[in-house]
Amino acid sequence: SSELTQDPAVSVALGQTVRITCQGDSLRNYDANWYQQKPGQAPVLVIFGKNNRPSGIPDRFSGSSSGDTASLTITGAQAEDEADYYCNSRDTSGKHLVFGGGTKLTVL
Amino acid sequence: EVQLVESGGGLVQPGRSLRLSCAASGFTFDNYAMHWVRQTPGKGLEWVSGINWNSGTIGYADSVKGRFTISRDNAKNSLYMQMNSLRAEDTALYYCVKDRMLAVAGFFEIWGQGTMVTVSS
């Protein structure tokens, strides 16, 4: 089982705001990164570090954290945002990298 | 254009070996750490191994430690994974991934398209 826990599925109405969470003890000491994966495609980094977006990622994507929980927020979700979202960070030992189980986002 | 192209996957019997390769282009390869990340069909992602820019720091997931060996050849802009004693549970799509950092930081910035490994008798 993963040391990072994500809700399996979340839905959001088109144009509304959605928060996807990632919970784990290691997040008290390490930042989470976020990836978007669409069917049949490789994952894409959307947020890294505290709240940094790689070039080309829309500014409707943002990251935050509090205590043992990191969050990815999509403000004004678009149809093309429908995808699986994964968080990653280090485990509690700091020695290994781990992923959350993923959240399937449906845009209604 | 930054590109990672994996090769070497295939069907292999349990207990046998396989070597994956990843050819990198479009960036200064020896300025970045590299990783292998795998994904079981229809399931989630699992970090397998990472290597820093000069091979001085290497890490493995507990599930593969002692069986898999990661290496890189900066002169050839290539990353490798030697996989021994393969098990059915190693069946997955294996991605070659570029980090944003010199160190094994876990910022998985660029992903290849993956090479499929199937372990079955």
DSSP secondary structure, A70-81, as one string: EEEEESS--GGG
Is residue B41 within 8 Å of residue B58, measured between CB atoms? Answer: no
Q: What residue in A sits closest to B94 (Cα-Cα)? A: A42
What is the least distance, in Å, from the CA of A107 to any CA of chain B?
20
Q: What is the pLDDT of residues B33-80, one digit of tens each?
A: 999 999 998 789 999 999 999 999 999 999 999 999 999 999 999 999
Is residue B64 within 8 Å of residue B47, measured between CB atoms? Answer: no
Q: How far apart are CA A36 and CA A78, in angstroms?
A: 13
Nearest to A97 among B47, B109, B114 (CB): B47
At which residue do the structure tokens 């570029």 appear? B98
What is the least distance, in Å, from the CA of A2 to any CA of chain B?
9
Q: What is the mean pLDDT of chain B?
A: 96
Residues 6+ apart with CB under 8 A from A44: A35, A36, A37, A57, B111
Q: In whole angstroms, how large is the CA radius of gyration of chain B?
A: 13
Residue B11 φ/ψ, nearest 5 degrees: -95, 130
Question: In the prediction, which pLDDT does B41 show?
Answer: 81
* Chain A residues with CB-CB distance to B59 below 8 A: 95-97
> Closest Cα partner for A62 from A10, A106, A19?
A19
Nearest-10 Cα torsion for A34, A38, A44, A45: -10
State the best of B45, B49, B116 to mutate against chain A, taking most chain A CBs within 10 Å. B45
Nearest-10 Cα torsion for A16, A22, A23, A26: -140
CB contact under 8 A, A48 and B107: yes
Residues 6+ apart with CB under 8 A from A70: A21, A22, A23, A27, A31, A32, A63, A64, A87, A89
Output the tens digit of pLDDT for each of chain A's 108 residues: 569 999 999 999 999 999 999 999 999 999 999 999 999 999 999 999 989 999 999 999 999 999 999 999 999 999 999 999 999 999 999 999 999 999 999 999
